[in-house]
Amino acid sequence: MAKLVLNEEERMLADSARAFLDDAAPVKHLRELRDAGRTHDPALWKAMAEMGWAGILVPESAGGADMGHAAAGLLAGEMGKTLVASPFLSSAVIAATALRQVSDRRAADALAGIASGEVTYALAIDEGPKFAPEATRMEARREGNGFRLTGRKTFVVDGGFADRLLVLARTGEGLTLFDIPADRAGVSREGRAMIDSRDAARIDFDAVEATGEDVLGQVDDAMRVLRPALEAGQAALAAELSGLAAGAFGMTVGYLKERKQFGVLIGQFQALQHRAADLWCQTEVTASAILHAGRKLDEDPENATLAVSLAKARATETAKAAVIEGVQMHGGIGMTDAFDMGFYMKRARVGAEWLGDYGWHAEQVARLRGF
């Protein structure tokens, strides 16, 4: 397997991403969106697409950059550092990976749409408060040559503005993944006000018509397409959380070096030093799991489940620790809305739940390690 260090190309990608995002999407950008009552910035996504990020996992034949999952993780990590709101995970990672599992004309066209930034996707999978794709109950009843989808999906991330939806539904024998436009008759979506100020929708399907054309992959065999897409999304989300932890931690260490109390810098207190040092150790350990998951998805995707769940489990816990300590070590100012740490804390909580929380992924590790 490729080394667990960044190569020249990867380093350049991360550096250029950081330079662009510091300018175009610092945390202030998310704050401005929130204050304006918006969850998404199409102009920002367009600029990202022009740099090739929307097509990071799209084949070159469909206009993508095809740089792989480790590279996608680097971008997600840089986005995480400044809490960049974009459909990168939903469209460029999850939907693109799902569509790549299918080799027909329609999938190729859809991938081209993603790469250009013109088409955005959202994954409609959750129905209850916890991630449990296998327990999907929403029904796609056969009718003539097609299906009728009826039911409700919750926590559809980026579902409030996405052009298309990947919808998981039960079809008699098993689960089937549908790829339908979000404005199809019978689809009604309601954006929810989320704690992280980003987009997520509740979507009702009222006898929505779907044809065989709308099925991604095979009927009753959603997981063949969905599992790789979920794992890609989980790995990239883990990378985002790892970046988020690094961003929050950087602010905290900076504060320890400038804040004075009792006549000394608070960073001189050993109680705080050791907690900060422990946190740094945790972020380093998690960073290894993140890079490894990206490499594994690129080189041995059939056997990446353990690596991906390890990354998501670790990243969830590390991000949580980083934001809790971030607020605590900043003291009073950490509690205020005017200060950015709260944004990190809220996004960390959303990222913890999305695509499986710590318990869900730890359970995968347990299963694969013989528990």
- Choose, by CB under 8 A, the member of 101, 150, 288, 328 that binds another protein: 288
Residue of the chain from 64, 73, 267, 356 that contacts another protein (CB under 8 A): 267
Q: Which of 209, 306, 349, 353 binds another protein (CB under 8 A)?
A: 306
Tell me how far, at minimum, the Cβ of 272 lies from another protein, in Å: 8
For residue 201, the cross-strand partners are 156, 191
Contacts of 321 (CB under 8 A, 6+ apart): 245, 279, 282
By CB under 8 A, which span of 40-48, 79-87, 224-232, 282-290 interacts with another protein?
282-290
Indicate whether 280 belongs to the interface with another protein (CB under 8 A). Answer: yes
CB nearer another protein, residue 148 or residue 314: 314
Q: Is 333 in the site for another protein (CB under 8 A)?
A: no
- Applying CB under 8 A, does 253 fall inside the site for another protein? yes
Pick one of 299, 301, 349, 353: the residue that binds another protein (CB under 8 A). Answer: 299
Q: How many CB atoms lie within 10 A of CB 87?
A: 28
The one among 1, 36, 185, 338 contacting another protein by CB under 8 A: 1
Rounded-to-integer distance, Cα 181 and Cα 32, Å: 29
How far is C-alpha 136 from the geometric centre of its chain's CA atoms? 21
Nearer to another protein, 24 or 253 (CB): 253
83, with CB counted inside 10 A (0-12, 13-18, 19+), is buried
**Given 190, 274, 331, 336, the residue binding another protein (CB under 8 A):** 274
* 313 contributes a contact to another protein by CB under 8 A: yes
Task: For residue 90, state whether it binds another protein (rule: CB under 8 A).
Answer: no
- Is 5 one of the binding residues for another protein (CB under 8 A)? yes
Interface residue list for another protein (CB under 8 A) = 1, 3-5, 253, 256-257, 265, 267-268, 270, 273-274, 276-278, 280-282, 284-289, 291-292, 296, 299-300, 303, 306-307, 310, 313-314, 362-363, 365-366, 368-371
